Structure 1
Amino acid sequence: MSLLVPAIGNQDSAQALDVSEAVFGQDFNETLVHQLVTKYLSAARAGTKAQKNRAAVSGGGAKPFRQKGTGRARAGTTRGPIWRTGGVSFAAQPRSFDQKLNKKMYKVGIRSIFSELLRQDRLAVFNDFVPSAPKTKEFLGKIKGITEGRLLIVADELTDNLILAARNLPNVAILTPISVDPVSLVYADKVIVSTTALKQIEERLA
């Protein structure tokens, strides 16, 4: 059994594309999609924040002053957190925020997103979006009528003309099938895919 992904563009060449129900006909798994998006965003965090603990700050090799007779609280080191030049309590250290998610779960999650995009009429096939020159005006003319909201274009090849023509448009993102990520798919109001790119996505998720 298969499904049809609607096509947009020139009426003479616009034909719906037949795709596998096993990839584009899955139920929406909200819990898994949330986990997928959280993993992707967490992996993008730098995790480079670092502070010095007591062991990392200089000084503290000797008792700063004698135990009694000074009128001050006793102290055995100048590296404690109560001192101005001391170390930080529970100091932050470099870490990775990445979360574990196996490949099978990742595939199921991406299938779920694509299936929901198709059910909501937010996924369509469009082959005539590559401009003949790196001109934003020409590119806008090709995608006229589908630029409302955030647009994600999945092209089988990123040409210089396509990249240069679209880079000044804040609500348009362009990816290849291998670089499609869950956040871009969920964030987009409309996803248009070339025929070749859609077949590549179907093969990767099969």
Structure 2
Amino acid sequence: MELNVIGAKPMKVSDEVFGGEFRENLVHQVVTAYRNAGRAGTKAQLSHSEVSGTTKKFKKQKGGGARHGDYRAPIFVGGSRAFAAKPRDFSQKVNRKMYRGAMRSILAELNRQGRLKVVDAFDVEQPKTKALVARLKELEVGRTVIVSEGVSENLYLAARNNPQVLEVVDVHGISPVSLVRADHVVMTVDAAKKVEEWLA
């Protein structure tokens, strides 16, 4: 198949990478696992047995309404937590084949919807946000992820203060979460070739 390159002739790419079917279940599993891997999982609360305080029964069993044993019960201020959270690992196993399959699926769907914009080159001469905004306006894109073979310092500095640019990354920095969040993905020809080598 061919990818349209803005301002240049179309480039031939693999059908498997940029033209495959959209596998929603796989994409959801990989995106969820990717986000969960970033969770600290350090939240900790005190259960009934861990709260400090007296265990003495503070009222008689009958005749006073509700029956209580001590003030450490979850319904009292300063008491325990009924189902106390404990530190845990949120990470999920995703093997390489699944991850690459999800990335192919996302890129193919972006291409199908016209949200993948391929350009011959993408850079700015000066680290100015104004210059980058003008360049993105020419491409008619919204919230964007820019994927380049090599990210120049000027491009990075121009993009970091622009809320419309979610990320500026090289091929190795692409993540499924950023691709799914973006309205458009602007990718250079050289980056597209590297992505094809990686995912083919």
Scaled by the length of structure 1, the TM-score of the pair is: 0.80
The residue number in structure 1 matching 2:113 is 120
Gaps of 5+ in 2: none
User: Does the aligned pair in 2 maintain the 1:110–1:182 contact within 8 Å?
Assistant: yes
Deviation at 1:67, TM superposition (A): 7.4
Count of residues paired in the alignment: 199
Deviation at 1:72, TM superposition (A): 9.6
**RMSD over aligned Cα atoms:** 2.8
> How many Å separate the matches in 2 of 1:51 and 1:164?
42
Deviation at 1:17, TM superposition (A): 2.0
Deviation at 1:201, TM superposition (A): 1.3
Of the three residues 45, 48, 72, the one matched with 1:51 is 45
SS in 1 for 2:13: strand
Deviation at 1:82, TM superposition (A): 4.7
Structure with more helix by fraction = 2
Scaled by the length of structure 2, the TM-score of the pair is: 0.83
Q: How does 1:3-18 map to 2 (within 5 A)?
A: 3-8=1-6, 11=7, 14-18=8-12
Deviation at 1:154, TM superposition (A): 0.4
SS in 2 for 1:153: strand
The residue number in structure 2 matching 1:102 is 95
Matched, 1:197 2:195: no
The residue number in structure 2 matching 1:20 is 14
Of the three residues 136, 145, 165, the one matched with 1:152 is 145
The residue number in structure 1 matching 2:29 is 35
Matched, 1:135 2:128: yes
Deviation at 1:130, TM superposition (A): 0.9
> How many Å separate the matches in 2 of 1:146 and 1:25?
22
* Bigger mean CA deviation after superposition, 187-196 or 103-112: 187-196
**Aligned-pair identity (%):** 47
SS in 2 for 1:115: helix
